Structure 1
Amino acid sequence: MLSLLAATAAASDPIQWAELGLRPYLFEIGSFQLRYYSLAYLLGILLAYWHLSKMIKAPGAPMAQRHADDLFFYCTLGVILGGRLGYAAFYQPELFGGIELFQLWNGGMSFHGGVIGVLIAISWVAWRGNLNWLRVCDYIAVNVPLAYMLGRIANFINGELYGRPVESDVAWAMVFPGGGDIARHPSQLYQAGLEGLLLGVLLIALFWQTRARYRAGLLVGLFTVGMGVGRFVNEFFREPDAHLAHRVVETGLSQGQWLSIPMIAVGVIVVIYSLLRPPVGGSKTAPKPQAA
C-alpha cells in the first residue's frame, strides 16, 4: 500500500480509488462473499489471541492460559455486541427497535462501543477467575492496535469511511466512489498507521523490552491515551457521518472527537495512578507468575 502511494506521489491528478482494482470481498461462492471486513475481525482476534498466549508465558503474567481462552471468547462477543450497540447509541439511535440493528453492514461498528464491550468481558473473566482487573486490561490493550489496523485497512479496501476534501495539493489524495468527484484524504490509512501500527509497535516494545508490564495500568493507560489522541487528530481528516455533520458545524468538533476527550482524560488518570504505585512484586525483583 505504501509503495502504491509512493509511486503516485509525483502525479498531478488525485488517485482514483476505483482504478486500484479493489473489491470488498476476497472471493464469492454463489451469494456468499468472504468480505475483507469480516476477515479483518477474524484475523485481528486470532492474532490477538496468539500474542496474548505468548505474553502470559513471560514472567509476571496475571493469568493462566485458561483465562486467555475465556478472554478470547468473551472479548469477541464484547467487540461485536459492544461495537454494534455503541454505534447505534452514539451515532444512529434510530437503529434501536428495528431489524437493521442486527445488520452489521448497515452503518457499521463503534470503536468506543467495542472498548466498552471488551471492558465488560474482561470484568466478567477477572471476577470469575479472581484476577487483577487492571493488569488483565494491560495485557489485552497491547493486542488491540494491530487488530484495529486490519479493520481500518478493510475500510479502505471497501472504499468507505473516507476523509474530508483536501484543502491543498496532497500527492496521495483520492477520489472515492461515494464521495463525489472530490479529492479526499485516505483517512482510513491515517488511522491504520497512527492508531494501529504505530501505537501497536510502541505497546509491544514496551511490554517485551521494558518492565512496563509490572506497573498495573500503565500499558492500558498509554493505550487509552494513544487511541484517544490518535482518533482526535485523525478526525480532522475524516469525513463526519452525514447525519452527524451538524455536530461539527455547531461545535467545531466531530462526534468521534467528543467521545475521545473523556477517553484521553481517563487514560491520563490511569497512567498517573500506575506511576504513583510501586511495581508488582517490588522495584528490583521481577514477580513470579501468578499461580493458576
Structure 2
Amino acid sequence: MPFLLIDFPSFSPIALQIGPFAIRWYALGYICGITFGWLYARALIKNDRLWAGSSPISLVQIDDFILWVTLGIIVGGRTGYVLFYNLPFFIEHPTAIFKLWEGGMSFHGGFLGCVVAVMGFARKNRISILSLGDITCGVAPIGIFLVRLTNFINGELWGRAADPSLPWAMIFPTGGDVPRHPSQLYEAGMEGLLLFIVLAVMIRRGALKRPGLILGSFILIYGLTRIIGEHFREPDVQLGYLWGGLTMGMLLSIPMLIVGLILIVLAVRRGAPEPIEAVR
C-alpha cells in the first residue's frame, strides 16, 4: 500500500447519546442545517438594502415556514429515494420506508418537497413564490454542506476508485481495499461551500431585487456541480451505471440545468419590482 494512502478515520455514527437517547451525525446535519439556514434567512429578511425597498416576507412568516420546509425536506427526500433509487426493495419491504434512521434520502426528492412547501406556504400567505424560493435556495447550501460532511463521517456514498498515488485517496471500511475519492468532501465543497459563496455574493450585489434569480441560479449551479461530483462518486450498488455511463444523480440533475437557465432569463427580463414597504 502506498505510504500516502489515507485510512478512513474511525468515526462513531452517533454524535450524542444520553442514556437510550441518541442523536446520529446524519440527523444532526439536518438539524443544524435547518437551524443555521433559518437564522441566515432572518438576517437576509431584516436587511432592507438587499431588497427592492424591503423584504416581501416577514420574520413571523419565515418562522412559520420552517415547519413547512422541514416536512418538505423529510417527506420529499425520503419519497425521492424510494422512487428514484431503490423502488424494488421498498415494494418488497414497505415498512422500511418509514425507517428513516437507517438512512436513505434523495436531494432531488427533497428539493421537490421544498418546492411544494414554498408554493403551498406562499399561496396560503399571499406572498411571492419566487421571493420565498430565493430565500430558501439562498440558505440551502448550508444544509447541503453539513449533510455531505455527515455522509463522510458515516463512511457512506464514497467515491470511485482513485489512483493510489493521489495524496488524499482513502480506504473506506465498506469500500473494500480499493483507494477511493472522498467524493463526499468534493460535494460538500462544490454543492455546499462554493454554491453558498456564489449565491451570497449575488445576494450582496442585489440579486434578491429580481425575484427568481437566486432560485434559478441555485438550480443551475447545483445541477452543474452535482453532475461534476457524480464523475467521482461511486453509483449506488442497486443501480450502477445507467444509459451511456450516466448515473441517476446525473439524470436527475440534467433537467435542473434547463429549469435554472429559464428562471434566470425570466428574472433578468422581468427586472426588479417597485419598492414596497416593510412587512415586519
> 1:161 & 1:63 partners in 2: Cα distance?
37
The count of corresponding residues between Structure 1 and Structure 2 is 272
Aligned residue identity for 1:87: Y
The residue number in structure 2 matching 1:126 is 122
**3-state secondary structure, aligned to 1:40:** helix
Structure-to-structure mapping, 1:104-253, within 5 angstroms: 104-167=100-163, 169-207=165-203, 209-247=204-242, 250-253=243-246
Aligned residue identity for 2:236: D
The residue number in structure 2 matching 1:3 is none
Checking the alignment, whether the CA contact within 8 Å between 2:210 and 2:267 is kept in structure 1 is yes
Aligned residue identity for 1:91: Y
Q: Return the structure number with greater relative CO, CA threshold 8 A, min gap 6.
A: 2
Aligned residue identity for 2:231: F
Give a deviation string over 1:156-208, Cα, whole Å, max 9, x none.
0000000000146211000001000000000000000011011112212221x
Report the more deviating stretch, 148-157 or 33-42.
33-42
The residue number in structure 1 matching 2:3 is 12
Unmatched tracts of structure 1, length 5 or more: 1-10, 282-286
The residue number in structure 2 matching 1:284 is none
> 1:25 & 1:79 partners in 2: Cα distance?
22
Q: Does 1:33 align with 2:22?
A: yes
1:136, distance to aligned residue in structure 2 (A): 1.0
Checking the alignment, whether the CA contact within 8 Å between 2:164 and 2:179 is kept in structure 1 is no
Give a deviation string over 1:112-168, Cα, whole Å, max 9, x none.
000011111111110011111011101111000011100000010000000000146
Q: Does 1:62 align with 2:51?
A: no
TM-score, length basis structure 2: 0.93
Aligned residue identity for 1:73: L
Unmatched tracts of structure 2, length 5 or more: none
Indicate how the Cα distance of structure 1 residues 289 and 22 shifts in structure 2: closer, same or farther if over 3 A, else same.
farther
> 1:231 & 1:105 partners in 2: Cα distance?
25
> 1:213 & 1:173 partners in 2: Cα distance?
40
Indicate how the Cα distance of structure 1 residues 198 and 116 shifts in structure 2: closer, same or farther if over 3 A, else same.
same
Give a deviation string over 1:205-260, Cα, whole Å, max 9, x none.
221x211110111111111111100100000000100011142xx42110100000
> 1:290 & 1:91 partners in 2: Cα distance?
44
Structure 2 counterpart of 1:86, from 77, 80, 84:
80
**How much is the aligned-residue C-alpha RMSD, in angstroms?**
1.5
Aligned residue identity for 1:210: R
